[in-house]
């Protein structure tokens, strides 16, 4: 009598992590799709669509230290950037890594590059390679950015001899 119960429990214990892994993998694609939406909007200088990736109460701290809370404030940051140095630039992401906090919260690390940047005088500026740490939350069945923190890595300090 115990044997079928124990066998069923053991089978369930073995399959549960696989089901969780499958569910998580299924949720990774919608998150990656949201990142593609952001990239597409960026490439079109569509600041409203860029901010639409964020939850209504989301936050952004850009690499220049500007803090924005809420979609309207985030839109204003993007308008400022896309009427300035990032106007008509191209945004490319790679190496997307998703780490699950809960089934409805994910930390997403992305390597990115912005090309076509120009300085205040309008002259071409170097590409802007950077990293972004996003926090995505699932709200009403849709993945939304709760936070984003783009930054550049600093060069390693020289070793002391």
Which secondary-structure segment (H or E) carries 26? helix 2-43
- End-to-end, the C-alpha distance of the chain in Å comes to 71
pLDDT at 160: 67
pLDDT at 153: 86
Residue 89 lies in a domain: yes
Q: How many CB atoms are located within 10 Å of the residue 143 CB?
A: 23
Residue 85 lies in a domain: yes
Q: Name the token pair of 114.
A: 């912005």
Residue 160 lies in a domain: no
Number of domains comprising the chain: 1
Residue 117 sits in a domain whose CATH number is 3.10.450.50
Range of the domain at 32: 19-151
Residue 12 lies in a domain: no
Do 26 and 34 touch, CB atoms closer than 8 A?
A: no
User: How many secondary structure helices (H) and strands (E) does the chain include?
Assistant: 3, 6
Q: Which residue, 15, 19, 21, 24, is CA-closest to 105?
A: 24
Between CA 9 and CA 47 the distance in angstroms is: 52
Q: Name the token pair of 134.
A: 């996003």
Residue 7 lies in a domain: no
Residue 158 lies in a domain: no
Residue 31 lies in a domain: yes
Using only the alpha carbons of the chain, give its radius of gyration: 20
pLDDT at 6: 53
Residue 122 lies in a domain: yes
Between CA 74 and CA 59 the distance in angstroms is: 7
Between CA 14 and CA 95 the distance in angstroms is: 30
pTM of the entire predicted model: 0.82
pLDDT in tens, the chain (161 residues): 555 545 444 444 444 454 366 666 778 999 999 999 999 999 999 999 999 999 999 999 999 999 999 999 999 999 999 999 999 999 999 999 999 999 999 999 999 999 999 988 889 999 999 999 999 999 999 999 999 999 998 887 766 66
pLDDT at 157: 72
Do 113 and 129 touch, CB atoms closer than 8 A?
A: yes
């Amino acid at each position: 009598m115990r044997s079928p119960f124990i066998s069923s429990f053991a089978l369930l214990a073995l399959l549960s992590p696989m089901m969780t892994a499958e569910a998580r993998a299924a949720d990774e694609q919608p998150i990656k799709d949201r990142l593609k939406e952001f990239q597409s909007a960026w490439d079109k200088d569509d600041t409203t669509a860029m901010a639409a990736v964020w939850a209504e109460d989301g936050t952004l701290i850009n690499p220049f230290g500007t803090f924005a809370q809420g979609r309207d404030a985030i839109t204003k940051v993007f308008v400022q950037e896309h009427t300035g140095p990032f106007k008509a630039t191209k945004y490319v992401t790679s190496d997307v890594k998703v780490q699950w906090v809960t089934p409805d919260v994910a930390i997403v690390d992305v390597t990115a590059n912005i090309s076509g940047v120009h300085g205040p005088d309008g002259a071409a500026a170097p590409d802007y390679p950077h990293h972004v740490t996003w926090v995505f939350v699932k709200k009403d069945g849709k993945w939304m950015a709760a936070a984003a923190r783009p930054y550049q890595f600093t060069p390693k300090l020289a070793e002391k001899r």
